[in-house]
Amino acid sequence: MFYAKSIFAALFFCLILFFGGFQLKAEEIETEISYLELANIATGHPQSKFEAPSTVTVITAEEIKNIGARTVLEALRLVPGLIVGLDISGIPIVSLRGVYSAGSERILFLLNGIPVNNPLTGGGTLFFADLSVDKIERIEVIRGPGSVLYGSEAFTGVINIILKRDYLDHLGYWRGTYDFDEINLALDKKNQDFNLWFDFVHRDKNSSSLFVKRDRFSVFPLFSLSKNLPRYHHTSDWERRQEVYAGFSWKDLVLDVFYINHASGIPYNLSGVPSDKSRFARQNFMVNMFYKNSFKSVSIEQLFHFSYYYHDLYADFYPRGSIIRDVSNNVYYFPYGLKWRRKTDIYRLRYELKSRYNFGDHRLFGGLVFQNDTINDPKYYENVVPCSNGRCYSNVAYLVDLSDVFGWLREQDRFYYSLYLQDEYTIRKNIFLTLGMRYDWYDDFGDNLSFRAGLVFNLKKFWYLKLLYGEGFRAPSFRELYLKSCPVLPRSGNPSLDAEEMESYEIGLFYSSPAFQFGITYFYHNYDDLIYLAPDKFFNFYYKNSPSDAHTQGIEIEGKYIFGKLDYFLFSYAYLDHSSAEGFHCVPYHVFSFNFFKHLLRGISFDYRFYYLSSWPSYQIEDYSISDVIVRYINPLYELTIGVYNMWDHHYKYPDLSHFYIDNYLNPGRTIGVKLQIYF
């Protein structure tokens, strides 16, 4: 480790010394393409992604439309090396740079620059991977750590979803396979300095009902007595979702609200035994107020944020008549099956003050954050009721409130504050140095100090060289700290956990001209204190920090060729090499994608997208590819989109990334969708 740091520092120092209507629509598309290089995420202000002191990907609204993406998860396949999938309960998973985590808690999601990872699980995909895309202006992604600017969870990546505040009034309707229906209404009214916007989405999808070849009863010896028990043998992945995004801006003041109501089935049930009755309901409501003020060379921005999260998970765990034999050869009989329900409310209050000050060749950016998260009134219900002496139980036909007996989560407050400071120094007109640091203090696990350094050289007119060092950390989530063991799915939090930490070293060479863009990046990440679930001899799980270090390294290649006026070809390849340590599983070594977009006739465009993941031999998961074909027609009054998803391999479905049930799949193969969007 010391050797790698020394080489990197020497190279850094030597280079410093050495270098010291349709027409209207077409115009909008052109603007999007020219804007592709700009990003705010790396430094907190707009700049070319090639000059940014991070490895950055920008996905524009027009690119999202061109590929026919229906959700953020589908749009993120354009990010080099980013892997998307589902877990066995149907929750989306994203991973970057060879790091997999079941809750996607090692990637920070931002909504308009505000952290929105769920305090319970630590991840952001629970609500925002399924976000509808018509309201999105662009998505900015940092590949690598971003903790100096964004704090915890900005570990292996940061995904900033930037929503529109300026709409073309429209009504849209998606219709697709498995009765997929989505309605979108967007309105925008302006009057001088005042702007008001409203966006509403309703989505409804029936279950694809994929056949389940294997479940826990048919695989694990503990359930052998129930192997032939009648049960539901198909996935249950239905979905009902509503989104409301509304707000207004007046001069330097912005106020917006965002509400998500999401309910869905659970493909395998949390026990791995299929059930068509289990469901996961959750809601997220947030209010944000931004205020900016500038004078001379100083600007100040304040954010007030409130959010409420409602969690309601019902699991029809085992069917009626289940018989379980544990490792001690004790036999348990469940004539009414095993069912449970978990509920809780979580509140967040956040205040952030940001300030920018420019002097000479320096651009200073600093901030202060205060945040408090509260778990309120967790409830646990089950139909297995313990006897008064605690030595027996009774299985009943209804759910009983056992919150005072077993519980599932501790009521808890978490308060933290952060201070951060960054300096961007223009050494020469073609050499840019960025240095930054951040201090975070948490009242439940302690403090953390993070650093970053970036040196960017504009070698020639179109060539850029980046040398980057960054540190990331991840505070343990509420689930990892405070989960209470209960009879079902025994898993215990650990209040003594330390934060995960990582160091990143990157070197990248980039080329950017009006017609062609190319980049190649090598990264090396070293990790300490990774948190993982460890089983005891009775298959009870508890969270702990890994006693050994781990690392990942790899190469990312990306390119874009623009031909004609509006046509382009995108490609990316990532090689991901990861060590065999806890927390690193289900990650392929090769990820490849390309995207071809072409205007065929006036108003008609064609897009072909290909996405490939190599096999994962350690977990018996075969390689697979996805090919999507999208045709769009645009005129001043409406847009029509027709998409065929996974066109060539109709047998493809998301594999189970937990690797418990290799033969099972969580998503249907080939699907078709048609979208009509009318402007008024």
- List, as one string, the DSSP characters of 345-392: EEEEEEEEEEEEEEETTEEEEEEEEEEEEEEEEEEEEEEEEE-TTSS-
pLDDT higher for 190 or 665?
190
Q: Which fold has domain 21-679?
A: Maltoporin; Chain A (2.40.170)
pLDDT tens for residues 359-418? 999 999 999 999 999 999 999 999 988 877 666 788 999 999 998 887 788 899 999 999
pLDDT at 665 over 80: no
pLDDT tens for residues 430-461? 999 999 999 999 998 889 999 999 999 999 88
Predicted local distance difference test score (pLDDT) of residue 653: 57
Q: Which residues contact 6 (CB under 8 A, 6 or more apart)?
A: none
Q: Are 586 and 616 in contact (CB under 8 A)?
A: yes
Mean pLDDT of 546-567: 89
Which pLDDT band, with edges at 50, 70 and 90, does 27 fall under? very low
**Highest mean predicted confidence (pLDDT) among 4-8, 85-89, 633-637:** 633-637
pLDDT at 13 over 50: no
- SS3 assignment, position 434: strand
pLDDT at 679 over 50: yes
pLDDT tens for residues 504-544? 999 999 999 989 999 999 999 999 998 888 877 666 788 88
pLDDT tens for residues 560-600? 999 887 899 999 999 988 765 555 555 778 999 999 999 99
Q: Which of 532, 551, 530 is nearest to 542 (CA)?
A: 532
pLDDT at 185 over 50: yes
Describe the chain by its helix, strand, coil percentages, rounded to 5. 10, 55, 35
Mean pLDDT of 189-204: 95
CA dihedral (222, 224, 230, 233) positive or negative: positive
Q: Are 110 and 489 in contact (CB under 8 A)?
A: no
Which pLDDT band, with edges at 50, 70 and 90, does 20 fall under? very low
pLDDT tens for residues 139-164? 999 999 999 999 999 999 999 999 99
Residues shown for the chain: 680
Which pLDDT band, with edges at 50, 70 and 90, does 215 fall under? confident
pLDDT higher for 630 or 10?
630
- List, as one string, the DSSP characters of 222-271: GGGGGTT-----B----EEEEEEEEEEEETTEEEEEEEEEEEEE-SS-TT
pLDDT at 668 over 90: no
- Which residue, chain included where needed, has tokens 């847009």? 639
pLDDT tens for residues 259-290? 999 999 988 887 888 888 899 999 999 999 99
Q: Which residues contact 200 (CB under 8 A, 6 or more apart)?
A: 183, 184, 185, 186, 242, 243, 244, 245
Question: How many Cβ atoms from other residues are within 10 Å of residue 450's Cβ?
Answer: 27
For the ranges 349-353, 378-382, 488-492, 649-653, the lowest mean pLDDT is seen at: 649-653
Predicted local distance difference test score (pLDDT) of residue 620: 67
pLDDT higher for 489 or 469?
469
Q: Are 452 and 434 in contact (CB under 8 A)?
A: yes
pLDDT higher for 327 or 520?
520
Mean pLDDT of 288-299: 91
- SS3 assignment, position 73: helix
397 membership: H or E segment, kind and range: strand 393-401
pLDDT tens for residues 36-90? 467 888 888 888 888 899 999 999 999 999 999 999 999 998 999 988 877 777 7
Arithmetic mean of pLDDT over the chain: 86
pLDDT at 31 over 60: no
- Which residue, chain included where needed, has tokens 């646990």? 380
Predicted local distance difference test score (pLDDT) of residue 407: 79
Mean pLDDT of 209-234: 84
Predicted local distance difference test score (pLDDT) of residue 557: 96
pLDDT at 220 over 90: no
pLDDT higher for 444 or 491?
444
pLDDT at 486 over 80: no
What does the DSSP 8-state code read for residue 37?
Answer: G
Mean pLDDT of 184-209: 94
Q: Which of 675, 676, 680, 525 is nearest to 70 (CA)?
A: 675
pLDDT tens for residues 229-244? 888 888 888 999 999 9
In the beta sheet, which residues pair with residue 381? 341, 401
Q: Which of 308, 304, 307, 306 is nearest to 352 (CA)?
A: 304
Predicted local distance difference test score (pLDDT) of residue 416: 95
pTM here is 0.91
Question: How many Cβ atoms from other residues are within 10 Å of residue 428's Cβ?
Answer: 11
pLDDT at 166 over 90: no
Predicted local distance difference test score (pLDDT) of residue 28: 38
- SS3 assignment, position 475: coil
Predicted local distance difference test score (pLDDT) of residue 460: 84
| 56-60: strand order across its sheet | 56-60, 136-143, 157-163, 107-111, 114-115
Q: Which of 627, 629, 638, 570 is nearest to 605 (CA)?
A: 629
